[in-house]
Chain A
Amino acid sequence: MLKKGHLHTVILAGVIFLMSFMVTGCWDRKEIENRGFVLGGAIDKVITPAPKGEYDLPHVTQEAGERKYKVTVEMPRFKKGEENVTGGKENHYIFSGEGESMFQIVRAIGAKTYFSPFFEDLQVLIFSEAVAREGIKDLLDFGLRNPTMRRGVKVFVTPGRAEDILKGKMQVAEINSIFIAKTSQNVKMTPRFATVTSLGEVAQAIRAKRSFGVAEIVMENGDVKLTKGAIFNAEGKMVGELDEWEIVGGKIIRRVLKEGAFSIPNPANPEKLAVFEVVEPRIKVNSHVDGDKLWFTLEAELAGHLGENTETEQKALDPVFLMAVERAMADEFTRMVQVAYHKHQELRADALGLGSLVYRQHPEYWNMVKDRWDEEVFPQTPIDVNIKVIIRRPGMIS
């Protein structure tokens, strides 16, 4: 039989067990099909405050703040197995709200559906260029404050309307955000695509008051492309963009260039092409301080192989020819690095991480210059570029 002491323990355990059910509550409980999984978010400027229709549904009533931003979210439309085959309906829902507070807009969207927004599966966050130029620092506060938002969300900037990218019809029958998120995993394949930045990295840069870059995304005819790079200054405002060559140069300086094919006019016949594929890049970037003077050196050894030689008359094994290709290629890389470097200097935004290089290598010097780094010191600092190209395998065609 249970002793009296045991009985007390059992009763106590029972009370704790019951309390845990009653007190903790089940407010997080929601069936999976009733949850609004927000997969993509787009933030635009509000263009026309004039209401469409009798009731102005997108408008979010706020105690303070203006009707400034339009937030659009994309959620998957769940459907039964049979509907998937026949298609017909769109596979996503688009909801939007207009106001200034991100939090209130999201809440207002939640009030319009029974599946309230849930951000843990957010894939992409797209800012329109207009919003980005005004600064995204304030807008990100909600994203970082919200406990369900993950740091791996991919951040993009688009020159047009951001909502169009979520709304647009894709060639692939897939939810737009998922398609973009999957596509951006392929960014390594070509060196000209800007590096995709995550929300965590952006937040880190803003906290540390550093400049940073974000990939630009455009959509046309059901295709998306990551083309340019948007450069943000330390205040989180977009100050300019890099074109595709400048992105390659920037990648070399940031030492993130892993592979990629590059073409130059064939040294044997300028009308034909020689294509070099980088396979094994070895890049070293260093900072040097001499008194007040600071300069950078970039030494790179880009090894790879001859990917294509359209001048078929030319023997690829000829060392003279190969050396010519190597030299011409090295010149091309040097040019790209210089262009990218000067572009950043022009924009007065060091999105290349050179500031932190100085901080690591010359901390005392960094302490002197860190407050005027982006504006004054970085634009004045020269870089010495020394790139060597090695063709390991010319390929053999007999």
Chain B
Amino acid sequence: MDDNKENSPTVENIAAKLKNFKSLITHVRDVEDEAEVVARSLSEQYVYPETYQLEASLASNLKHLQEILSDSYDFHFREFIIAALNRQAAVVFIEGMSNQELINRQIIGKLLLPSATGQGDKPDNEVFGYLKNALLAVASLSMEDVMGEAVKRVLAGDTLLLIDGVTGIIVIESRKMEARAISEPETETNIRGSRDGFVESIQTNITLLRRRLKNPNLITKKVTIGVRSETDFAVVYFRGIAHPRLAYEVEQRLRKIKIDVPNGIGVIQGLMEDHPYSPFPTLLATERPDKVVAGLVEGKVAIMMDGIPFILLAPATLSDFFQTSDDYNEKWVVASIIRLSRYVSAVFAMATPAIFVAITTFNPGLLPMLLTVTVANTRLGIPFPAFIEALVMIILLEILQEAGVRLPKTIGPAVSIVGGLVVGEATVRAGLVSAPMVIVIAFTAIASFNIANYRLNLIVRLFRIPLMLLGATLGMFGVMMGFLVMIAHLSMLESFGVPYLTPMIQKNSQQLSDIKDTFVVAPPSFMDERPQYLTPEDAKRQEK
């Protein structure tokens, strides 16, 4: 009975059969896609340009180049005849990276002109010289014998000129990158200092330094990192000031990095730091040319990366993160107080919630009696322990801060209104959080904004919750233990051989004078020596 029913041509059976057929078609399509992928993966193998040999024939060279760069649509080549030599030739370039104007007018335009001295071919080995001396109206050109090098150059924006019968490629410098204009540094604004900041182009950045240091002893050494990206790096230092050992060490560490693509300067920093596992940065990143120049003439070494508007200064000590360019533009008394306030802020931004929790739950005897009563009055009826209260508020603060960084600028103020006013006011009104806790968290946040350096700010924020955990379990004793552990860790750090706490902690009495630019800013006439801890070649910086 059942079999009979199954075979009978009812509507249900036909529908089921069609369904089966449909799924079969889908399956066949999947197989077809798979086959296509396999076929492509076979034809699109990773290409090593070094394996290609240069030949005399223009056609085969072009074929090789096409093979290497084939499927990319921004790769262009144009074939023509050099009128003066009556030879087949071709220019190869990448659209958008090279100067089209130069290629049109000074290369193709000149080569198409008939020779003034009359038609006539030259021997193959004289072609390059002839073109260089008579035809090509460009400043910089060279002859490459290896395919690999030529491909690298074309990918950097240069133009290749291939000539039939010549075993070699003429590379004409024609780079023209689109670049952002120099603008004010956004993460390090200041009031009286210069307003230019680094941009993404390494060439422009070096220009910004050279403009300030017109001295042949400003050395820029090129290092290429990135097996697949060939990213340009530069080690910059001042010869005769920076200790040669330091400059060498920085260069060596850079050269040792074997990464495929350095994705930002933070990666490079992590790979060359003395202590990659420590949360504290031992290289100072800045986007201010004046700061880099100040570092270079102190004897530090700068590391530049193409495509990143930040420059690393090595070595960096903890006190470097508390300095701003404006410190030297203000009167020294004012600047000293401002700088001291940054150190104080750092401590407060890190420890205020921890100390508040520890004092109110463990050591209320540390508060003046009347303050005790006031705080207790406000805490009355709050359902959470002070620790949970503080933890929730800190997490809220972190979320608000992070939201502010990532949001478009137009929505930013809305976040601060909702976060600051609504949440702060409403939680206190609702009796979920006590008013002193809101004050403490707000003070903590403001204190952390006073730390000039953003990376240090992040670290201070990182230590807030562990310290508070210690404060909530062990009281003030715990907070102090936390500080001790942190100071112990700091004193173990080093940056390129310089202890991280220099010059707060002195190695010898000679370094004693370095303290004048640490907690305070000494008057300019006192700053007549370079920092001793950098062991500069020339210690004197101004004649008295």
Q: Which residues of A contact B (CB under 8 A)?
A: 20-21, 24, 26, 28-33, 35, 37, 39, 76, 78-81, 84, 118, 120-121, 123, 148, 150, 175, 178
B373 and A78 contact, CB distance less than 8 A: yes
Collect the chain B residues with CB atoms within 8 Å of residue A150's CB.
365
Among A29, A32, A121, the one with the most B-chain Cβ atoms within 10 Å of its Cβ is A32
* B contact patch SS: helix
- The chain B residue sitting closest to A181, CB to CB, is B369
Query: Smallest CB-CB separation from B385: which chain A residue?
Result: A31
Partner of B386, one of A32, A118, A121, A178: A32
In contact, A24 and B474 (Cβ under 8 angstroms)? yes
Q: A32 touching B369 by the CB < 8 A rule?
A: no
Given contacts A20-B474, A79-B380, contact A31 B361 (CB under 8 A): yes
B360 within 8 A of A: yes
Contact between A120 and B364, CB atoms less than 8 A apart: yes
- Bound-state CA distance A61–B107 (Å) is 110
How far, in whole Å, are A29 and B85 apart by their CA atoms in the complex?
A: 94
Q: Is B270 an interface residue (CB 8 A)?
A: no
Which residues on A sit within 8 Å (CB–CB) of B370? 178
In this assembly, does B416 line the interface, its C-beta being within 8 Å of a C-beta of chain A? no
Say yes or no for B70: interface residue by CB 8 A criterion: no
Other-chain contact of B364, A121, A123, A178 (Cβ < 8 Å): A121
Is B23 an interface position by the 8 A CB rule?
A: no
Residue B31 is within 8 A (CB to CB) of chain A in the complex: no
B187 close to chain A: CB less than 8 A: no
CB pair B361–A32 under 8 Å, yes or no, is yes
Q: Would you call B523 an interface residue if the criterion is a C-beta within 8 Å of the partner chain's C-beta atoms?
A: no
With A32-B361, A120-B365, A121-B369: A80-B381 Cβ-Cβ less than 8 Å: yes
Assess the B364–A118 pair: CB atoms within 8 A. Answer: yes
CA distance A97 to B338 in the complex (A): 56
Which residues, 371 to 415 on B, are CB-close (under 8 Å) to A? 372-373, 375-382, 385-386
A-B contact count (CB 8 A): 70
- In the docked arrangement, what's the CA distance between A150 and B386, Å? 26
CB contact under 8 A between A76 and B473, given known A31-B386, A178-B369:
no
- Considering the complex, which residues of chain B in the window 307-364 have a beta carbon less than 8 Å from any beta carbon of chain A? 360-362, 364
Which of A30, A78, A121 has a CB less than 8 Å from the CB of B365? A121
Interface string of B460-481 (1 = CB under 8 A from A): 0000000000001111000000
Task: Pick the contact of A35: B364, B377, B381, B473 (CB < 8 A).
Answer: B364
For the complex of A and B, 4 pairs with smallest distance between CB atoms: A120-B365, A32-B360, A33-B379, A33-B376
Q: Looking across the interface, which residue of chain A has its beta carbon closest to that of B359?
A: A32
Report whether B380 and A121 are in contact in the complex, using a CB–CB cutoff of 8 Å. Answer: no
The answer on a CB contact under 8 Å between A31 and B377 is: no
A120 to B372, CA, bound (A): 11
Q: How far is the CB of A157 from chain B (nearest CB, A)?
A: 23
Q: How long is the Cα–Cα vector from A35 to B380 in the complex, in angstroms?
A: 11
* A78-B373, A78-B380, A80-B377 known; A37+B473 contact, CB < 8 A: no
Q: Which of B379, B382, B475 is the one whose CB lies under 8 Å from A29?
A: B475
Question: Which residues of chain B have C-beta atoms less than 8 A from A76's C-beta?
Answer: 373, 376
Residues of A within 8 Å of B385, CB to CB, are 31
Chain A's closest residue to B472 (CB) is A29
Question: How far is it, in angstroms, between the C-alpha of A33 and the C-alpha of B437 when the chains are bound?
Answer: 14
- Specify which of B375, B381, B473, B474 is in contact with A32 (CB 8 Å cutoff): B375
Q: Pick 29 A–B contacts, CB within 8 A, sort by A.
A: A20-B473, A20-B474, A21-B473, A24-B473, A28-B362, A29-B361, A30-B362, A31-B361, A31-B379, A31-B386, A32-B361, A32-B375, A33-B377, A33-B379, A35-B376, A37-B364, A37-B369, A37-B376, A76-B376, A78-B373, A78-B380, A80-B380, A81-B377, A118-B364, A120-B364, A121-B364, A150-B365, A175-B373, A178-B369
Instruction: Count chain B CB atoms within 10 A of each CB in A26, A31, A39 and give the residue with the most.
Output: A31
Question: Roughly how many angstroms separate A70 CA and B360 CA in the complex, as a whole number?
Answer: 31
Q: Is the CB of B472 within 8 A of A32?
A: no
Residues of the A chain whose Cβ atoms lie less than 8 Å from the Cβ of B360? 31-32
How distant is the Cα of A120 from the Cα of B475 in the complex, in angstroms? 16
Closest to A37 in B: B372
A286 to chain B, nearest CB (A): 42
Specify which chain A residues have a CB less than 8 angstroms from the CB of B380 in the assembled complex: 33, 78-80
Known: A32-B379, A81-B378. A37 touches B474 (CB 8 A): no
B87, chain A: closest CB distance, angstroms:
58
Name B358's closest neighbour in chain A (CB-CB): A29
Candidate in B360, B361, B373, B473 with the most chain A CB atoms within 10 angstroms: B373
**Cα separation A21 to B382 with both chains bound (whole Å):** 25
Chain A positions within 8 Å of B475 at CB level:
28-29
Q: A35-B376, A80-B380, A118-B364 are in contact. List 9 more A-B contacts (CB 8 A).
A: A20-B474, A30-B362, A32-B364, A32-B375, A32-B379, A33-B377, A33-B380, A78-B376, A123-B369
Q: Which residues of B contact A33 (CB under 8 A)?
A: 376-377, 379-380, 382
Q: How far is the CA of A389 from the CA of B452 in the complex (A)?
A: 64
Chain B residue contacts of A39, Cβ below 8 A: 369
Q: What chain B residues lie within 8 Å of A120 (beta carbons)?
A: 364-365
Asked whether A121 lies within 8 Å of B372 as measured between CB atoms, the reply is yes
- Chain B nearest CB, measured from A180 CB (Å): 13
In the complex, what residue of chain B is closest to A32 when comparing beta carbons? B360
Nearest-CB distance from A163 to chain B (Å)?
Answer: 21
Instruction: Determine whether the beta carbon of A32 is less than 8 Å from that of B365.
Output: no
Whole-angstrom CA separation of A120 from B362 in the bound complex: 12
Set of chain B residues within 8 Å of A26, measured between Cβ atoms: 473
